[in-house]
Chain A
């Protein structure tokens, strides 16, 4: 039965592709068949490292070969197993990547008990395992289950430099771009339902540690008009916010100094702050339990193929590219390859670099525009002020951009400020500049809350914003010339609250081909090519 299937498939293959079996070395050599008729370009990684023979495997601590990694082999394996199962009642001996739904391996093969499977082929490769990448992987696997092989490449499993875990964790609906408001409303719903959605059997349900205290955005006389416009938009979209005059603010928050403040918008519901580490950890745990594989390595090469017959014509004639293979450098320096069908770029502050690997930013015409995301260092200071605002304090944003919020019950507060364009700190490391606190942050918060005069700097840390130099809002969607690369980065400080929504949007793009829940077309890469920035109208 198996021989009949194999021969008939071979014959069918000959008919469809016009290539007879004898001409091709082996019909299972997927790469050979696919390269016929397609010209390959910029090979940034060589094939020497492709599927090294077994003798080399034993030298390095690593991965066993997956018998059915190659998609063509997988299909034939599935079909032959089905046929055998039907006739002979044989159990599927088809190993899955990742654990089964029960939490255990279906049939552990004895000789490969050491090491995990190296996913040499996958359907979706997500570059970056922070909250964006994990959210995308979770949404994809939750919808497609075993129908899609998802691999996430994360360079640092301890997340020491990731923007996610170093963030202050605020969530608000007080934006001026409608898509941002909708994304964070969805994020709020997701956080609330997280114990059901992200619960894994046998483990504690995730606790997002949400503090429902709201955001208070203050505006001086120059900015109060913009604040009112934003407030109207937020109310229209269903956010529960309230506009208050300076007198009402003074009445509600007696510790607030309302000099120079004309009005403010207070979030009444669904705003506050939560623990970003819990969100990341539970998304990752749930994605892994659904079958995602996290690979500990860095993407150092991306090979693409130019599709001769697909052309994008604007001022230049450019051929459409299709990414096929990624070269991953593992922690021990070893380089391995993963073939994929779709790439999702969620690498946070380092997305610009990954874009350059593909050639986005080096080239003519459309390819000359790089992904405008770069790391920008931001400081967060934890101060101790025993006479501070106390329990009834939201996250306050001063007109000049300084923010502070309560942390815990011991009189500690977190504060920070985005520095001016001219004195951006260097991004080589995550060292903190205390002088910035004394010169810029402390005077502002002491002016706004007089009881902050006598505070003590307790601790501080620094993290990177994945800063979008173009318009400081996220870039979400396909790249126009690279036909299978999705971008989800550039959130410039408000990524953590939009992670759930963006994950769902990318999942809908990949699986359904269109946005269904929230329409994020305006946040696509095209706006960078058309030079139409989508600015958040900041309040001064």
Chain B
């Protein structure tokens, strides 16, 4: 009786998540729990000229605050599935790809929006690689991917909401295991986020395509190479200046 009940709960929860995504009805409340302090946009928020718009039409900018509650860390999901499977479900459901340790295939959604992932906890199954480039992750979403002790490969390329705070979170959560990071085309990352990447001790490969606009990026690449001995950076043409220095 017990396992079936758990299965049912997980199913229902998954369905509710999908429903919420479709309807977009969850406003952002300010939470009073000391663990979950969040800033609430109070009623009288200044909307400027947009106050002419009708209040119930969700605007593009509101997407982040709409989805923050659905993407935040769900304790019951982890209680049922364990950290690794919970993160896998979270990502694959939203269009990401996950590869487990010792597996050769990537778990992802197919054309019918279905995917094969275990619905209950399996011990000794660890997520090793995550490709979140289609997911458009936000800061709260990264928390749903925490406690992944064996994550080696992470790509958040083309996620426009990745900023310095998300880099901070990535550095905190995967500092001991991450070997490959891809933050290409994330326009909100600044030079301060790149300096923070020095905290990822095992980093071997860093993809920075499309981030040429960051201030002092070439100097930053050189400094990062000094700090992290095995690091290789791709996507920025800084080798020219290095060769110039040598000659």
Contact = CB atoms under 8 A, between A and B. Distances in A.
Nearest to B168: A212
A76 interface: no
B195 A269 contact: no
B135 interface: no
A409 B34 CA distance: 36
Contacts of B49: 101-102, 201
A289 interface: yes
Contact of A517 (B37, B46, B48, B216): B37
B223 A409 contact: yes
A201 B37 CA distance: 27
Interface string A313-331: 0000000000000000000
A347 B46 CA distance: 27
A142 B164 contact: no
B77 to A, nearest CB: 19
A391 B227 contact: yes
A212 B167 contact: yes
Contacts of B172: 240, 268-269
B138 to A, nearest CB: 11
A210 B165 contact: yes
Interface stretch (A183-191, A256-264, A358-366, A473-481): A183-191
Contacts of A522: none
A312 interface: no
A240 B173 CA distance: 10
A186 B37 contact: yes
Nearest to A145: B44
A343 B165 CA distance: 36
B174 to A, nearest CB: 11
B69 to A, nearest CB: 15
Nearest to B44: A145
Interface residues of B, number: 45
B41 A517 contact: no
Nearest to A500: B39
B53 interface: no
A26 B139 CA distance: 60
Interface in B146-178: 164-165, 167-169, 171-172, 175
A270 B169 CA distance: 8
Contact of A144 (B36, B44, B219, B224): B44
Most buried by A among B35, B45, B164: B164
Interface in B195-241: 195-196, 198-199, 201, 216, 219-220, 223-224, 226-227
Contacts of B61: 196
Given A145-B46, A182-B34, A391-B224, A211 B39 contact: no
Nearest to B30: A517
Given A145-B44, A193-B39, A289-B46, A409 B219 contact: yes
B213 to A, nearest CB: 14
Interface in A91-108: 101-102
Contacts of B195: 211, 213, 391, 409
Interface in A182-217: 182, 185-186, 189-190, 192-193, 196-197, 201, 207, 209-214
Contacts of B226: 390-391
B38 interface: yes
B5 interface: no
A178 B37 CA distance: 14
A213 B191 CA distance: 13
Interface residues of A, number: 41
A211 B196 contact: yes
A212 B192 contact: yes
A101 B47 contact: yes
A516 interface: yes
A237 B35 contact: yes
A201 B41 contact: no
A412 to B, nearest CB: 14
Contacts of A290: 46
A210 B45 contact: no
B46 A101 contact: yes
A452 B167 CA distance: 29
Given A210-B164, A409-B216, A409-B219, A142 B35 contact: no
Interface string B22-47: 00000000101011111101111111
Contacts of B44: 142-145
A392 interface: yes
A157 interface: no
Nearest to B41: A197
Contacts of B51: 101
A394 to B, nearest CB: 9
B134 interface: no
B227 A238 contact: no
Contacts of B169: 269
Contacts of A101: 46-49, 51
Contacts of B30: 517
B39 A189 contact: yes
B82 interface: no
Interface string A248-262: 000010000000000
A392 B227 contact: yes
B223 A390 contact: yes
User: Which of B41, B61, B172, B198 is most buried by chain A, counting CB atoms within 10 A of its CB?
Assistant: B172
Contacts of A144: 44
A193 B44 CA distance: 17
B93 to A, nearest CB: 25
B193 interface: yes
B32 A270 contact: no
A193 B68 CA distance: 12
Given A189-B37, A190-B39, A212-B171, 18 more contacts: A102-B49, A143-B44, A182-B37, A189-B39, A192-B139, A212-B192, A213-B199, A237-B35, A268-B171, A270-B168, A289-B46, A391-B195, A391-B224, A391-B226, A409-B191, A409-B195, A409-B223, A518-B37
26 contacts: A101-B48, A101-B51, A102-B48, A142-B44, A143-B43, A143-B44, A186-B39, A190-B39, A192-B165, A196-B41, A196-B64, A197-B39, A201-B48, A210-B165, A210-B192, A211-B196, A212-B164, A238-B34, A268-B172, A272-B168, A390-B198, A409-B191, A409-B220, A516-B32, A517-B32, A517-B37
- A-B pairs, 9 with minimum CB distance: A212-B168, A269-B172, A391-B198, A238-B35, A268-B172, A392-B198, A201-B48, A145-B44, A212-B196
